[in-house]
Structure 1
Amino acid sequence: MQNATLVFDLDGTLVDSLPDLVAATNHALADLSLPALPAATLRKAVGFGARRMILDGLARTGVTLPDPEIDRLLARFLAYYEPNIARETRPFDGAVAALEGFRAAGARLAVCTNKRLALAERLLEALAIDGLFDAVAGGDSFPVCKPHPDHIRGVIRMAGGDTAAAVMVGDTGIDIAAARAAAIPVVACTFGYATEPIAALKPDAIISHYSELDAAVRALLAGAPVAAPQPSAS
């Protein structure tokens, strides 16, 4: 792992942030006296940014607004979300231990998220995991963001890594498409926010828990095939 760079998506991959994102979206929509929407309704918009969550929420209620009104709701979203960013958001089970293990093995770690950089950094700091990463790139860090490959390539450069020895870890088609375009292997997690079966997106490996990530990453870096995770016994 000495020369490897592991790039992680944030929402739905490293952290379960859906409750706080939904709360901020509903706070914004409440300004229009619209009913609160459940997490299942807004789940598919996670990964595209706050503006998309507001647009999806409005679409679900049949409301169309001009851009200046969307901007106003976005400002309301952000004013609520920033001070409440880690009210319920937590790292997924096993994530922190896996990150610490990769760092101990000499890997570089990076975050590549479509969340605004300032919010991503604030969240990582609030969860006390910011010190585990060599670089963080938000949706506003470069002229492009995922699924554009230069978002991933850019954060790998920031981390001092090489795309030839990098692996992406994500949870949606956005992450998989970005990794494919950047020509790096991608691990997809089943516990994230994808709205379709993750296997249908054909990532290079699939994990259902962070305890499976080390083996998957090592196999991909070695160019070996990765076995699909076995369903847990019930």
Structure 2
Amino acid sequence: MNVGASRRFRSPRAILFDLDGTLIDSAPDIAAAVNELLAGRDLPPLRVDQVRAMIGGGVRKLVERAFTASGAPLLAGALDEVNRAMAPIYRRHLTGLTRLMPGVREVLTHFHLNGIAMGVVTNKPQLAAREILLHFHLTEYLGAIVGGDAVTCLKPAPDALLLALNQLGVEPADTLMVGDSGSDVGAARAAGTPVVLLRGGYTQAPVEELGADLVCDSLLDLPSAMRRLHAAA
């Protein structure tokens, strides 16, 4: 556990979670969708680890990165067309290969039993996010699910966090953001919430260098780390 030294930490009334790389390991399904799209245009497939490095900016950015990596970068008009073609492919690859990250159900149950409101804020399309969360029976824990197409600007803009907080009826200062990337840190800072990052997600930068208030090895470490920080504040 690494703790940012410059910010005080208090027990939150609400926790917002990123989805891909934080609650779920969706990279195999996303890679399958990307490769189906590429195959339809006679382009070579990408490895799962290559696609994992492209996740985090929404589906349009994923498509742009995938075609660039395949040696066929798309101009704006072509990107629009291919992004539309990706939509039904993406929806076919949501839960077949996706798995929960370690400790998700246990930790969400813990916070739920302790009366903490929870939500998911993701750059993934909202219907896709909801379908995945329904598949894993996690919606019962969540008072808000905000996808990238529900707001004007994706993370690292604060729009999704602020919409989720409005739905939960909680102020930013009483909320904790939990994610795995610099986009989560940027969104949390812009919204005015503390932020925890988890190792083992999809960021390509060292997680300790992204400016979070706290870094945990996994979601399982979060409750005890929060108790220690609250006691020390």
Higher mean Cα deviation, 151-160 or 74-83?
74-83
- For the Cα contact (< 8 Å) 1:110–1:133, is it kept in 2? yes
Alignment-mate amino acid for residue 185 of structure 2? I
CA distance in 2 between partners of 1:207 and 1:71 (Å):
38
Say whether the 8 Å CA contact 1:8–1:170 is kept in structure 2.
yes
Q: Which moved more, 1:209-218 or 1:42-51?
A: 209-218
Listed as ranges, the matches of 1:11-90 within 5 Å are: 11-90=20-99
Aligned to 2:171: 162
- Of 103, 113, 129, which residue of structure 1 is paired with 2:112? 103
C-alpha separation in 1, matches of 2:12 and 2:112: 11
Shift of residue 115, structure 1, vs aligned partner: 0.6
Task: State the match for 2:201 in structure 1.
Answer: 192
**Paired residues of 1:27 and 1:76 also in contact (CA < 8 A):** no
Cα RMSD over matched residues? 1.9
SS in 1 for 2:72: coil
Q: Does 1:152 align with 2:161?
A: yes
Residue 134 (structure 1) aligned with residue 118 (structure 2): no
What runs of 5+ residues in structure 2 fail to find an aligned partner?
A: 1-9
Q: Judging changes above 3 Å, is the alpha-carbon distance between structure 1 residues 80 and 150 closer, same or farther for their aligned structure 2 residues?
A: closer
Q: Deviations over 1:191-219 (max 9, x none)?
A: 10010110011211111122211123345
Taking the aligned partners of 1:90 and 1:133, their CA distance within structure 2 comes to 18
So what's the TM-score if we normalise by structure 1?
Answer: 0.89
Aligned length: 224
Segments of 4+ moved more than 6 angstroms: none
Q: Does 1:176 align with 2:153?
A: no
- 1:29–1:73 Cα contact (<8 Å) kept: no
Partner of 1:124: 133
Please give the alpha-carbon distance, in whole angstroms, between the structure 2 residues aligned to 1:109 and 1:38. 34
Distance in 1 (alpha carbons) for counterparts of 2:156 and 2:104: 23
CA distance in 2 between counterparts of 1:163 and 1:224 reads: 21
Ranges in structure 1 where 5+ consecutive residues have no aligned partner: 226-234
**Relative contact order (alpha carbons < 8 A, sep ≥ 6): 1 or 2 greater?**
2
Q: TM-score, normalised by structure 2?
A: 0.89
Deviations 1:166-196 (A, max 9, x none): 0000001000111112221111000100101
Aligned-residue identity in percent: 33
Q: What whole-Å deviation, never above 9, does each CA across 1:25-48 have from its counterpart, x for those lacking one?
A: 111111110110012222222111
